[in-house]
Every structure is written in structure tokens, then in C-alpha cells.
Structure 1
């Protein structure tokens, strides 16, 4: 499990009201990533995503290719692993 990483990501742009959280959840489940995604009051979306670097890269690539989502900026910070986490959820 040494190749597993966790990132906190803050997405800004056209990321609310366009199905971002549902798309992120679908893609995360497709790549067997764990973590969460949630809307913030400032119009951004926050996510914590855990998995391999390659799976997270593919997650971001798939998310950015959605025709309704337009990510202007992505802040990414490495986080400690959540060892017991088993799923990816949408937080409200």
C-alpha cells in the first residue's frame, strides 16, 4: 500500500450547478478511489481523494474532460492517509 497517496483538492471555476460532485463520485468509484467531495459556500468544491498517483491523475483528467465542468484553478495538498476509509462519498 506504499503507492497510495491522499490529496486535498480545491477546485474553482464553473464547478457548482454542473453536476461536479456526482461526476466526481462516479469517476472516483470507477477508479476505486476513496474520500469525499463537497460544495463550499464561496462557489468552490473541496475534495479529499485517496488512491494511487496514476488513478488520481486519471480521475482529474476525466473530470476536466466533462463538457459542463470548467476548472479554472486546482489547489492540491498532500494529506496523511485515512487507513480505514473504504468508499468515496458526496458530503452535503
Structure 2
């Protein structure tokens, strides 16, 4: 018995190609942080306020969520506060007010 070959119609092929073309690729959003004393000071204030509001030790990722800022900005503010001796980092990497 002869088998029938199945072929895609031209319309089906074009529809499949169109579907592939419409798929969006998502890329990670890059955050640019202005490196100046004013901006770093504001980030430090945001970190300090987040820790004061929570009243307990937090990880730096938790601080970023509470303060609603990027992780880079959080680390920048933490550096300022560490230098001034305003925060302490425990052995389990939790940050608390000094």
C-alpha cells in the first residue's frame, strides 16, 4: 500500500514562522547608579530607614525589597553606613543598626 506524504501547506508554514517572529526575548534590566556623594548619601538614608522600620536584622536583599531600590543601590548605601559605623554585619550576613 502506498503511504501518503504529509506536507505543510504554505499558509501553515507562514503562520508558524510568524509565531516564531513574535516571540519576545526578555533581557535583564540594567540599573545605572549615579556615583556621587549626594546619591550615595540618599541610598544610605534609605537603607537606614528600612532597618529602623523593620526593627530587626535583615539580609541585604531583604533591605532592597523593604526600601524598594535595586540591590546595587542597597550595597552602595550599606557601604556608606558601614564606613560611618552606623550598621553592623553579623556572622550570618544579617545587617542591623549599630
TM-score, with normalisation over the residues of structure 1? Answer: 0.31
- RCO (CA 8 Å, sep 6+): is it higher in 1 or 2? 1
TM-score, with normalisation over the residues of structure 2? Answer: 0.30
| Higher gyration radius (CA) | 2
Richer in helix (by share): 2
Richer in strand (by share): 1
